[in-house]
Structure 1
Amino acid sequence: MNNCPMCERKFKKLDDFPQVYLENFERNKLPPDLVLPYNNMNEIFVSQGTNLGNPIAPQEVVESLKNNQDIEYDGWIWRIDEQISKNSYSYLRRKKNNIDSVLKEIDPYLTKLKNMVGRQVKSIELLPEIKKHWHDDTSFEIPNTTHNLHFIYENPEENSNDEEKLRKATIYISGTNLPPVINDCPIIGTLFYYGRLNEM
């Protein structure tokens, strides 16, 4: 069953089906010292008295950066960006690259998936209850981080005659930009499921 019997649209993603039977969920254990790639979202701050409309950098940051290239402050990494005028600079702030902070946000979702193995549910129940990425409906923005859960789907061959086909969705942790090769991103888990049209 690769197409909707009513409108002929192709079933490509998990939520293309009304119902899904979750055959298995395999969660990967990530090393605690893992460095998450492609995390390049910076926020631009400025020093006091700079009228550019940007937020003002904390004075503690401004003072500390006079003698340092990078500093950590309140869970963020700060650095000087460029000199705006004689006494004014812009500053870049990005979230500290911490796998623990990412796992803290997604653990409840991953636990829910494990508990749903062997059940048939509405397909939307297997997706994260968080905001989708603004230009990619297979990515979900992990709250309080600059990373996403990114789903890659592997579907059966179209000429397969099996009525029920086991499908696979691999869940990656990606940064604000996708790398040239998705395999550069760590895999947090894999879903194996059957798409179904009606309750059984």
Structure 2
Amino acid sequence: MKSGNLTVSDARLKKAFKNLQQITNDGSTSKKIKEATEDAKLTTGTINKYYMDLNKAEVKLSTGKTVTCRVLQLFCNELILKYTPEGDYGYDETNGAGYIIPRTRIECAVLPTRADTGHTDYFLIGYFNSNDVPDPVPAPSMGNVKLSYVSAVDEYLVQFGADGFNVITNQLNQYTGVNSEYKQPVDDLATNETLEKEYYTRAEVDELLENLKNELKGETGQ
């Protein structure tokens, strides 16, 4: 029988809605809908292993599940940005690639692909810090961008923007400059060339002192 030949009555509509309600209220159906909804949400986790050469990471999700994620790339093709966290090195014979077990906790955000793609792929889409305490690393001034590497004893950074360009390799050896004009504070220190031109050598100082002594002796008649 074709649907066009059916007579739509109140009884038929009520029965259809009742059947639909029974299906949606079924325990197994509700569970599947809830699971699908949860799986589609943005998930957080921490990195267990970081595969530098594969651009992948093994992540333990906040749900307790462990998944392998593809690291989302900022660039592609000929422009590649690589990152390797500090930690202990290991080698995965199955994948034929090395990995790093981070020394510090690295929190990340993970998002799965849709189920209708045929298989579930997870993507690591970024990092975050759940600590609400102010960051000890100072932020750049307004209109500037700073990329820092923070060690136990120092901060190494590249900063540029409204204030010009600034590279600090460490606190004792800073390169600063605007545009293509660079200056290093140690450039102001005396060199062999400046010492020879602007300052007396030790031998010259000794000679001057000796001459002064002789002059003083002559004046006093001693």
* TM-score interval, normalised by the smaller of the two chains: under 0.3
Could you state the TM-score of these two structures normalised by the residue count of structure 1? 0.22
**Higher RCO (C-alpha 8 Å, min separation 6):** 1
Name whichever structure is richer in helix by fraction: 2
Could you state the TM-score of these two structures normalised by the residue count of structure 2? 0.21
Structure whose alpha-carbon radius of gyration is higher: 2
